[in-house]
Structure formats: structure tokens, C-alpha cells
Amino acid sequence: MSANEFSLQSLITRTSAADPAFVFDGAAASRIEFAANVEQTAAWLAAQGIGRGDVVAVWLVNRVEWIALLFAAARLGAVAAAVNTRYRSAEVAHLLKVSGAKLMVVEAAFRSIDFAAILADIAEAEVPALQKLAVVGTDAIPAQWPCVRFDAFEAAYPPASLAQNDVDLPVLLYTTSGTTKGPKLVAHSQRTLSTHASSIAKALKLDPQRHSLLAILPFCGTFGMTSLLGFLAAGATVHVLDAFEAAPAVKILREREITHSFGSDEMFRRILALTDAPRPFPHLELCGYAAFQPGWRELAAEAEARGMPLYGLYGSSEVQALFSIARRSDDFADRIEGGGWPMSPDAKVRVRDMETGELARPGVSGEIEISAPSRFLAYFNNPDATSEAITADGFFRTGDIGRLRRDGAFVYETRAGDAMRLGGFLVAPGEIEDELKSCSGVADAQVVAVDLKGQARCVAFVIPAPEPPQQEALIARLRERLAGYKVPARIYVVDAFPVTDSANGVKIQRTRLRAMAMERIAAE
């Protein structure tokens, strides 16, 4: 099989594909039109000085330009770095610095997000590689860097000199939780993306003439991007929301007779809440979901009764989303659990007992380790983190706890470390703690996640400096620097953190901090 069979371009040249390929806000794009968009975008990128190995940061909501930029970067041998639209200045600056992006394609504005204001809080010295901004929807925004308009679909640029199609070079960078101030960048190649997309299409037995996807997840994350690529590989039509809202999702599910969708439990809960019909979506065959909120089992039972079959799944930026999913033949209790069966027949899952270090037998919980064609290349520009995450025989150490089932599937149980699941994203406490410690009046800080009114929120404990901090000022500062879901719901001042002595030194008792947080919230 030639290398071109593993290129992203191969996903849009499949035979027996349905048209249109995409429907964005009612506007349809055929596969031929999208292929033309890709070539236009490659020419535009080349005109901006982007070539082999260069990184382009993409800070956009779900729009056809996002996908065209990824495919065009692949054509040039360049790399697209996905920027979460919920990021704020500290997070954007970190991503730009670590990736070395030369160009960033950005929205002018979207709903309440002021992209220009966020960029204004980033010093040029923080991101020395960034040379230019390209703005979708307007000529320029106020910024420290030169601005051009993204007009690839309108203006004629000289055709680009396409790079040799090396499908094993980095082409897409996702962000994932880090142990230090900012997230790590997970590098994937055309091969890892396209092979996994094809595995999804085959495992789900997608028929381009019968099946369709409602894409409600952001393309900047592996959950949204992977599901889109899987349906593109199948030749099925993808209907896209620029950002999730329940009302338009309900409308499209009904009117377009959608068969598949993937999202969080909260998304499907909000969709069901907007309709009183006993079986509102008769064409729905499968809704793959990740459970982040309490009450997900009750939600799954209600959804099942109303004709919205929820299937538990598993994934990560490192092995891609939709790595595995439950099967139709599974018992309901097993089907709604996270985990399931790998999409790829070549994937291997094992569980290692964290006490003995030995591989665990079925039914025994331990750390999940994965070897698969969908596995990432490396953490971009971070060889130390890469070597720590990969075993000597090539398995990715997920940091997740789970167990093997006797039938060959596996169950995801919880996260091994201290990372928190906030707003549907995995967040390292250290990222928020470092921002707190940079604030005036804070000597030290610790952050834990708690269940607050049915939602996962973070609570901060701070040790004050000689001049104590003002909570309102702290919150205001964090809202400027971090995505809203990372801003603590409460900030409590303490004299010291609870600690315990161990053979390896003094450790902070995060379990005790969580209990303290819940006690104080209950007292309020």
C-alpha cells in the first residue's frame, strides 16, 4: 500500500461517497468543492511564507476553513496547532511559544469572545516565533502583530509547490494536560489520523448513503476532530454546529434525520430537555458519549427509553478519541460504561497493577496501557515527557485507571493522577495554581475539583503573602488569563495545607483538601 493511502487527502477521494461532504450553518460543501478549498488554502498558506515544518496555529470555531487549513498544511508538509476557543491569554501564549507557530489564523469575534482583547494581553516577547495573524471575517483586528485577511476562498493565489507526501511527519498538534504551568502538545501524523478514521468507519459499519453525523464538538479537540474524520473516511455527510447549542442541535437531528452524534453527557442531557416527545429522534442509531457529570447512568436510562441510545467510549489526545466504544450486543449496563472495544483490530489494551507492577488479570483495576495505530508520535518538542509516557515495548501509559473484561473489552474507571475534568476538558491543577501564585498577595496555592450543584468545579486554597489577596481581584485576574471553566468557584485562605510524611517526602493531602472544600461549601 502506498504512502498516499495514509494521507489526509485520501479521505476525500473515497469512492461511493455521499454529497455534500459538509453542511455548515445550512451551507453545503461537496467533496469536489472542499478539495478545491484545500488547494486554495494551500496556495494561500504558501503565499504567507508557510512551508515544510512550519507551524500554523488555528484559533477558530467549527467552520470549513478549520478543516481546509489542516488538509492544506498536510499538502505543504506544515503543521496545524489546534487552539481551544475557550483559552485565554496565558494558555494561548503557552501554546504559541511551545509550538513555535509562525502564523495564527484567528476569528475576528465570536459571541462573547473578544479575540483581540485576549491577544492584547500577550507580550510579543512571550511568543518570539509568531510573525503574523490572519483574520477570518474581517481585514484586521487590533494586535501587536501584522494582520492579513484569510481570503483563500475568494482571491487567486499562485498554486503552491506541494511537499513530498511524508505521512509520518507531524501534521496536527492537540493540547493535553501538563504537570507544569501549561499543557503539552500531542503530535499526530497523517498516518495516525487517517488510519484511525478508516478504523472508525469500518468498526461502526458506516454506510455513506444511509448514515450521517451531527458534529457538536469543537474541532480543536480530538473528540470533535476524530469523529469528523471518521465520517469523512466513510464518505458520509457531516452536519456541523459552529459551537454547541441545544436548540439548533435538536432542529438538525429532527430535520436532517441524523443517525450518529458524539458528545458529553451534559450535551445529550440538554438536547433531551428541549423536547417532550417520547421518541423525538427516530433515526438516531448511536450517540457516543463521555460521562463527565454525576447522574450519567440515570441520563443513559432516560435516553434509552426515549430512543437515544447512548454508547460509552474511551479516548485521549494521545490515542485519539473514539479509540474504543461499546457494542450493540453489550448488556445495557456494560454499554453505557466508558471503555468498550477498540475501533482498530490492531489495537492492544492491557492493564498494569500499580502496586505490583505486573500485568493485571481481567477484573483487576490498574493503569491502562495502549498500543495502537492511532497512537501519537510524541509530545511536540518535549522528548522527556514522551519517553516517560511510552513503555519500552511501545505502549502508551495513559494515566487512567480501568480493568479488562473477560469478554475482551475494557472499562475506564477514573484518572490516576490529580488531573481534574472541568468543562469537559482534562486540566492539571498546577496550571491554575501557577496562575494563582503569580498574583499579588498569594504565597502558595492548591486546587482541587469538587461536585458543585451537579457540576465539576475547582476550588482553590491559598496561603497569603504578608499583604493578603483580595478575592475579587484574584477572580478578575484569573478570568483574564484562563478559560472560564478553570476559574475557581471558591477561593479559601488557609495558614497551611494538610500534609503527610512518606518515604519520598512530604505530600499534600489532596483528598483532605477536597473534604475541606465540601465542608466549607456546605456550611455556606
pLDDT at 397: 96
DSSP string, 309-362: -EEEEEEETTTEEEEEE--TTS-HHHHTSSEEEESSTT-EEEEE-TTT-SBPPT
pLDDT band at 479 (very low <50, low <70, confident <90, very high): very high
Calculate mean pLDDT across residues 69-76: 97
Residue with cell 498494569: 352
What is the Cα–Cα distance from 481 to 464, expressed in whole angstroms?
A: 20
Q: Are 89 and 480 in contact (CB under 8 A)?
A: yes
pLDDT in tens, 111-160: 989 999 999 999 999 999 999 999 998 888 889 999 999 999 999 999 99
List the alpha helices (DSSP H) in 178-307: 190-203, 222-234, 246-255, 265-273, 296-305
**Range with lowest mean pLDDT among 168-172, 271-275, 435-439:** 435-439
Q: What's the distance, Cα to Cα, between the start and end of the chain in Å? A: 64
Lowest mean pLDDT among 403-412, 462-471, 496-505: 496-505
pLDDT of 505 strictly over 50: no
pLDDT greater at residue 171 or residue 469: 171
**In angstroms, rounded to a whole number, what is the distance separating the alpha carbons of residues 429 and 506?**
18
Q: Which has more pLDDT, 157 or 15?
A: 157
Q: What is the mean pLDDT of the chain?
A: 92
The per-residue pLDDT for range 324-383, each reduced to its tens digit, is 999 999 999 999 999 999 999 999 999 998 878 999 999 988 899 999 999 999 999 999
Angstrom distance (rounded) from CA 8 to CA 34: 13
Higher pLDDT, 499 or 516: 516
What is the structure's pLDDT at 471? 84
* Residue with the three cell numbers 488547494: 39
Q: Give residue 440's Cα distance to chain centre.
A: 32
pLDDT category of residue 14 using cuts at 50, 70 and 90: confident
Which 8-state DSSP code applies to residue 291? Answer: -
Model confidence at 504: pLDDT above 50: no
Q: Copy the grid coordinates of residue 212.
A: 450521517
Averaged over 63-82, what is the pLDDT?
A: 97
At 132 the pLDDT is 97
Percentage of residues of the chain with pLDDT beyond 70: 95
- Of 171-175, 214-218, 323-327, 430-434, the poorest mean pLDDT is in 430-434
Q: Look at 275-284, 307-316, 470-479 and tell me which has the smallest mean pLDDT.
A: 470-479
Q: 3-state DSSP: the chain helix, strand, coil percent, rounded to 5?
A: 30, 30, 40
Q: Which of 11-20, 253-262, 429-438, 484-493 has the highest mean pLDDT?
A: 253-262
pLDDT at 294: 60
Cβ atoms of 507 and 500 within 8 Å: the answer is yes
When pLDDT is cut at 50, 70 and 90, the band that residue 3 belongs to is low
pLDDT of residue 26: 86
H or E segment and range at residue 398: strand 396-404
Instruction: Identify the residue with better confidence: 462 or 467.
Output: 462
pLDDT at position 137: 87
List, in order of start, the domains of the chain with CATH numbers.
25-188 (3.40.50.980), 244-415 (3.40.50.12780), 420-523 (3.30.300.30)
| Residue 73 contacts residue 79 (beta carbons within 8 Å) | yes
pLDDT in tens, 73-120: 999 999 999 999 989 999 999 999 999 999 999 998 899 899 999 999
C-alpha cell at 432: 491554575
Q: So what's the pLDDT on residue 214?
A: 98
Please give the average per-residue pLDDT across 235-243, as a whole number. Answer: 97
Instruction: Indicate whether 180 pLDDT > 50.
Output: no
